[in-house]
Chain A
Amino acid sequence: MTDQIRKPSVLRAARLEQESLTCGVVIALALVLAVVSPAFLDPNNLASLQTAVAPNLIVALGMMTLFMIGRFDLSVGAVMGIAGIASAMALNAGWPVPLAFAAGIGTGLAIGAFNGAMVAFVGINHLIVTLGVLYMTRGVIEVVMSGQALAGFTSFPPGFVTLGTWGVAGLSGLFLFALLLSLCFEGGLRLTLTGRKLLFLGGNPAAAEATGIRRRRTEFWCFVLCGGLAALAGVLMTARVGMANRYMGEGLEMQIFIACLIGGGSIAGGKGSYVGALAGVAFVTLLTNAFNLLSVPSAWQAVVIGAVLVAVVVVDGVMVLRKAGRPWSAILGLFPNRIAAGRA
């Protein structure tokens, strides 16, 4: 602590350090892709990028909210799938479009409420609950879809399909909607008391509870929000691609998870912003796109995504240690002192 007290930079004051770094990486990645692969700037590729970003961004908003309070939800991919299937089944049963839409969202809210109740009120580890729910939901999807063709439900009324396919001036409406939603969330986070409370709760739960923030209730509603947003993404995506099948959202939770970590979230909570979620999702989407454009086999994609996750988690760990005032020599040195081996 021999450093002089300096005036914090603008980015630091706005708490956008990691977000701006990710943004820089995203822009650099896009530039490199544009140069290396001529197909990148193809209108078709740009359109598919938009539709890939939109649902992931909506899901990431919910996940980022949980990250802020030091929780996460691994069931989002499965929730996305089952919400799409629920609304498709409702449409098949002849329900009007708004009701079917609500049916999908309701399914997600219910699963989110179950997650939230188990984590907040029973006190079970959130990883285990949401993993268990992931398995259960996938099981239910398999049972529901067992008599169906692989493509699942494919015929929808035009009113429902427009929900996913509308657009303005060549831009996908879903993409614009997701952007608008994230801006609203960011505004809410920065300008309202509720938003500040979320970050306070994640940063120091004990102090937050001592000042009267109701931790359990907040956790519960954050899980409900996350389930609802995942369901929203699922229903919109069903409308966009025109089918609801058992493959939707498979493995999505890891992508969103990585996106949130890269975008400035921390497993420990107390950090994160929705702009960061946007940057993180853009990064992961561009990375996947790069694999496809450079035609890397899909098996290697999983290797790289896993490696990125490991790297991000390690960097996050190092940052936490640095914040705790541990010198670099004790973190990276050959012989860190032995006391350092214990975990808090």
Chain B
Amino acid sequence: MSMTQPAGVAEHRPGPAARRRGWLAGNGFGANILPLAVITLAVALFLALTRENFATGSNISSILFGVSIEFLAIIGFTYVMVMREIDLSVGSVFALTGMLTGALLVADWPFWPAALVALVVAAAIGFVNGFLVVRFQINSLMLTIGTMLLVRGLANVLANALGGQTYPRAFRQFARTDLFDIRITIVVMVAAVVAAWWFQRRMGLFRKMCFIGENPRSAVVHGIRVGRIKIAAFVASAVTAGIAGIFTASRITHADNQMGMGLEFVMVTAAIIGGASLYGGKGDLRGSALGLLLLALVLNGMIMYDIEPVFQQFVIGALLIATVAFDTLVNRRTK
């Protein structure tokens, strides 16, 4: 496995064999996109045919709106996973950034400086995560559980200080900004998926990231700046989570202790459904988006079928184990 990889990296672009495989399959990555899209469509069709409430405009657009906000947070997360690291602090960073923006706005700051300060805080958290992981070679799972608790604590301190105040009206309207009559986050999601398509096919950086995930030692030997790329990915993960947090804070209109709770596990599940792996070297933003959509459809379907909402936790846990089990079995077979 690791024998074929260096050749691909040395070229920095897909070889002729990969190019011949057709544009939809990409360069060997994301061969699972088509089946995944079919499954997602099938679930959507099933719900549309069996439940009349499903195929209404408002339901579909609220699902898409929710998915598009979560999607913003999964952008960096997916690329962290490509490098065989994980960032479990996304949910907490998501909450902290959203609440911090809201708190600054309540304190009469203008919007853009407030958002910028909050995003800088998020970037700093991401940098600390990445720096500690790279410098001390810490297992990122462990470290980010620690930062998850720490940042969650800070977010709760903020939430208590705000005491359930609603954010200013202008901020509450922010997430409802429309572009071409569609929510702006949905437009951003579509644009980002297209950009990711290009990035994953054409950029050497993505190849390097996959290489790092496959074999960090030999990536270093080949002159790839593993540390820098990893730190950059952790920063990106925190910042994208922060942007999503700002949209979410605007959407839920007040500081909520539960904001972003368990988001990290939804993301792990979605990313793995979308073709990433805990064993690194793989990952696809298009797949992650489809994974999020599929999860949202399943949860929406459960509501449509009047299954107890408390059972959702159980389903997310079961899906997490099932997808990772599948991932493990697939990886074992190819090794």
B-binding residues in A (CB < 8 A): 118, 122-125, 127-129, 131-140, 142-143, 146, 254, 257, 267, 297, 299-307, 309-310, 312-314, 316-318, 320-321, 331, 336, 338-339, 341-344
Contacts and interface: CB of A to CB of B under 8 A. Distances in A.
A139 B315 contact: yes
17 contacts: A118-B321, A123-B332, A128-B324, A129-B321, A132-B318, A136-B314, A136-B318, A138-B313, A142-B310, A143-B311, A146-B310, A302-B153, A306-B147, A314-B138, A342-B217, A342-B221, A343-B217
Contact of A143 (B136, B154, B314): B314
Interface in B290-306: none
Nearest to B262: A135
B152 interface: yes
A138 B156 CA distance: 22
B141 A127 contact: yes
A306 B155 CA distance: 13
B139 interface: yes
A133 B321 contact: yes
B317 interface: yes
B151 A132 contact: no
Contacts of B308: 143, 146
Contact of A299 (B135, B153, B220, B320): B153
B220 A338 contact: yes
Interface centre among B157, B160, B310 (most CB of A within 10 A): B310
A302 to B, nearest CB: 3
Contacts of B321: 118, 124, 128-129, 132-133, 136
Contacts of B332: 123
A139 B226 contact: no
Interface in B129-165: 132, 134-139, 141-143, 145-154, 156-157, 159-160
B106 interface: no
A125 B328 contact: yes
B316 A124 contact: no
Contact of A317 (B138, B217, B220, B311): B138
Nearest to A324: B137
B94 to A, nearest CB: 16
A138 B317 CA distance: 9
A135 B265 contact: yes
Contacts of B150: 302-303, 306-307, 309-310
Given A123-B328, A128-B321, A314 B156 contact: no
Identify the 3 closest CB pairs spanning chains A and B, nearest first: A139-B314, A306-B150, A135-B317
A125 B312 CA distance: 23
A139 B310 contact: yes
B298 to A, nearest CB: 14
B278 interface: yes
A123 B330 CA distance: 11
Contacts of A138: 313, 317
A317 B328 contact: no
A267 B227 CA distance: 22
A313 B310 CA distance: 34
A256 to B, nearest CB: 13
B220 A339 contact: yes
B311 A139 contact: yes
A341 B225 contact: yes
A317 B278 CA distance: 21
B136, B151, B156 interface centre (most CB from chain A within 10 Å)? B136
B103 interface: no
A72 to B, nearest CB: 9
A122 B322 CA distance: 11
B325 A300 contact: no
A314 B318 contact: no
B268 interface: yes
Given A122-B329, A128-B321, A133-B317, A343 B147 contact: no
B157 A299 contact: yes
A244 B310 CA distance: 18
Nearest to B324: A128
Contact of B313 (A129, A139, A267, A336): A139
Interface in B21-70: none
Interface string B8-31: 000000000000000000000000
B147 A128 contact: no
A306 B151 contact: yes
Nearest to B138: A317
Contacts of A318: 136
A306 B278 CA distance: 24
Contact of B325 (A124, A134, A137, A307): A124
Nearest to B228: A341
Nearest to A72: B142
Given A143-B308, A317-B137, A341-B226, A254 B149 contact: yes
A133 to B, nearest CB: 7
Given A132-B317, A342-B221, 19 more contacts: A122-B325, A123-B328, A129-B321, A134-B317, A139-B317, A142-B311, A297-B160, A299-B160, A301-B153, A306-B152, A306-B153, A312-B146, A314-B132, A317-B136, A317-B138, A320-B137, A321-B136, A339-B220, A341-B220
A135 B216 contact: no
B317 A342 contact: no
B151 to A, nearest CB: 7
B219 interface: yes
